[in-house]
Structure 1
Amino acid sequence: MRWQSWISWRKAPFYALAMMFCWPWLLQLFAFTHVNERLIFFIVAIYANYFYFIFSIAKGQRLSEGVTPEHAVWLFVLSNIILALVFAIGWHHFALFGPQLHCLKEPTLLQAIYFSAEVFSTVGFGDLLPCSDQGQMLFIAESLIGTTHFGVFMTLIFSRVIFPQSKPKTPRKPKIEPKTELNDDHAVSKTDNSTSSNL
C-alpha cells in the first residue's frame, strides 16, 4: 500500500511520545460536565497512546525496521521522563493529592512533578498522598504503567539489541563447471555433461 511507504517504524515511537505529551493540553478543548468524565478521558487517552507507543516498537522490530541501540537508549529515557511529566500535569490539573488525605487547593507544578515521580518510580515517601477517589484512580493508572514499563521496554528493545535475530542461511547450490578438452589445434573447447541421443 502507498501509505506504508512513508511510514517509518523507527520514527513512530517518537511520534507517539510527542502525541502523549499533547493530550493534557488537548483536555482544555473538550467540554466535560463532571470531573470524573474529564479524568477518565485523560486516563484512557494516555493508555491508548502508551499502547500505540509499545506496539509501534513491537511492529518495527517484527519488520526488522526496529530502533537502533542509540535510539533504544533515547526512547527509554524520553519515555520515562514524558510519562512522569504527563501524569504530573494531570495531578496538577485535577489537584487530587496532598498531605495526609487533604487535597492541595492550588498545587505547584514542582509539587505535581515530585509526586508523579514518586508514584511512577514506586518510591512513595508518604509525605504526599492521593486525597480522593479520583486521586486513587489516577494513582492506580500511573502506578500500573510505572511498574510494568521497565520490564516491557526491556523485553521489546534491549532483548533485540543484546540478542539480534540472525537470518536463516540458505544452502548454496554447488556450481557445476563445464569440462574443458584440448583439440588438435590446442584450442580449449567446453563440452556439456549432457548425453547426446543417437539418431
Structure 2
Amino acid sequence: MTMGALGPAIAVLLVLFVFFVGFVARRIEARKGAPAPVPRPAWVSAPSVPAGVRESIDLRQSLRLMSQTHGPTLQGLEIRLDLVLPDEPLRVFAVPEDLQNLLGEIVDMAACMLQGGAALQVLARVDGHHAVINWRDTGDESPCLARAFDGAGGTMASRALSCQAIAARYGARIYAAPSPLGDRSITLRFPIHGPRKTPESGVRL
C-alpha cells in the first residue's frame, strides 16, 4: 500500500481515536457528578429466624423480666421506669434470648441518654393484629430516645440499627412515631402469634 493510500486510513483512525477519548472523558465527568449510592441499612436485609428455633412468648413476661433485670440500673441513675401492661396476653413468635437482648438494649440506650429525674414510660398493648410496645422518655428536655430511631444519626444511631436488625428477623419493626404516650415516642410492633380473644365479645380472632 502506497503512502497516498495510507493517508485517508490514518485520518479515519485519528477521528475514531478522538471520538473515543471524548466519550471516555464524558463518562468520567458524569460519574463524578452522580450522587453516591446510598447503602442499604443492615436491618433491611436481615435474615428471618427459622420457625424451628422460635417459641410462643408472652411479651408481658418479657417486659416484667426486663423491669427486674434493668430496673435497678435505672433506679441507680434516678430514672423512673413506668411500665403499663394489658390484661390479655401479647403472644409473639421469637427466640427468648433475642427478645430480651432487644428490650435490654433499648433500656440501656435510655440509661445512656436520659438525665437523673427523667422517666422512661413503657406501654404494651394490642393494636389490630400486632403486639405493640411504645416507649417515651420524659424529663426537663424534649424526648431524646426517639432521636436515635428517626434516621437523624448521632452517637446512638448504630445501636438503634442493631435493634432494628433484631426486630426485622421476626417480621417486626421499631421506629420513631407518635403514640398514645405522646409525640416523639418509639414503637416496637410485632405480629401477634396465634388467635386471641377480645375482652368485649370473647370472639377468637
Which structure shows the higher strand fraction?
2
Greater CA radius of gyration, 1 or 2?
Answer: 1
TM over 0.5: no
Q: TM-score scaled to structure 1, two decimals?
A: 0.27
TM-score, scaled relative to structure 2? 0.26
Greater helix proportion: 1
